[in-house]
Structure 1
Amino acid sequence: MPELRIDPFPSAAELNALFSAAWGTLAPRDFTPILSRSLAHIGAYHDDRLVGFINVAWDGGVHAFILDTSVHPDMRRQGIGTRLVREATRVARERGAAWLHVYFEPHLTGFYRACGFRPTKAGLIKLA
C-alpha cells in the first residue's frame, strides 16, 4: 500500500509525469508557486515514486477546495484516491477549514459521494 505524505513538495518533473499519465499530455509547468499557497497537498508514494496526488487550495479562511486528485493509471482501483481524499479532508479540518469543496466531472459522482461529499449546485465560467 502506498505511503501518504503530507506537504511533500514533489518536483515539477514528478508532478508533470503523474499528471501526464493520469490526464494525458499536458504542458509541463512548475507547481511550486501553487503548492506554496495551498492549505495542504498530499502525495501517495510507492517505492519512493509519486503515484497519487491531491492539492487542497483555500481562500485563507474557512473554505478549502480539492484540486488535481490524480492516481497513476497503473495504481488505480486500489483505494489510493479514496485515501487521498480522506487524508485531505482530515488535514483541511485540522488546519481550520470549515467547508471542503470539490468540483468534478459527472463520471466521478459515485467516487466523490463515496468519499462523503453531497451534491450542491454551483456555477462555472470558462475564462481561457
Structure 2
Amino acid sequence: MRRLWLAAWGDEGHASFQLLLERSLTHVGAYDGARLVGFVNVAWDGGVHAFILDTCVDEAFRRQGIALRLVERAADVARVRGAQWLHVDFEPHLEGFYRQCGFRPTGAGLMRLG
C-alpha cells in the first residue's frame, strides 16, 4: 500500500493503513499478481451515506479502466452493505472520470481545517 500511495499522492501516507482500513465501509484493490496497482476506499457515516476516497492507480497501469472498475465495485459493495447515497469530492480535472462512473454534480461545501 505504501508504494502505491507514494506513487499516487507523492508522500508516504498514514503511519499505519490498518486504522484507515478498519474504519472503512469497504476498500477495493486492483492487483497485478501480488502487486497492488489500484485502490479505492469507501468511508461512511454509519448510516446511508458513503464516501469515495483515495481513488488511485499506479501510473504504469492507468488508462486501462482500472479506476472505473474499482469505483464500480466499491459502489456495489456499499449498496449491498446498506448505503443509499455515494458521495465523492474531486478536483475539476477529474470531473469527466467521475461522470463516467455515474456521479452527478451537486452543491457542496468544503472547510479547510489545517
Normalised by the size of structure 2, how large is the TM-score? 0.96
8 Å contact from structure 2 (residues 39, 54) kept in 1: yes
**Contact kept? 1:54, 1:84, Cα under 8 Å:** yes
Map 1:44-83 to 2 at 5 A.
44-83=30-69
Mapping for residues 1-128 of structure 1, pairs under 5 Å: 15-27=1-13, 29-128=15-114
Task: Answer whether contact 2:27 2:40 (CA < 8 A) is retained.
Answer: yes
- Bigger mean CA deviation after superposition, 66-75 or 18-27: 18-27
Task: Give the aligned residue type for 1:122.
Answer: A
Q: 1:115 to 1:27 in 2, by over 3 A?
A: closer
Deviation digits for residues 1-56 of structure 1 (CA, Å, limit 9, x no counterpart): xxxxxxxxxxxxxx221011112234552111111011000010111100000000
TM (norm. structure 1) is 0.86
The runs of 5 or more residues in structure 1 that have no matched partner are 1-14
The gaps in structure 2 that reach 5 residues or longer are none
Provide the alpha-carbon RMSD of the alignment: 1.0
Matched-pair contact (CA < 8 Å) for 1:40–1:56: yes
Query: Distance in 1 between the 2:48 and 2:14 partners?
Result: 31
CA contact (8 A) 2:5 2:13 kept: no
Identity %: 64
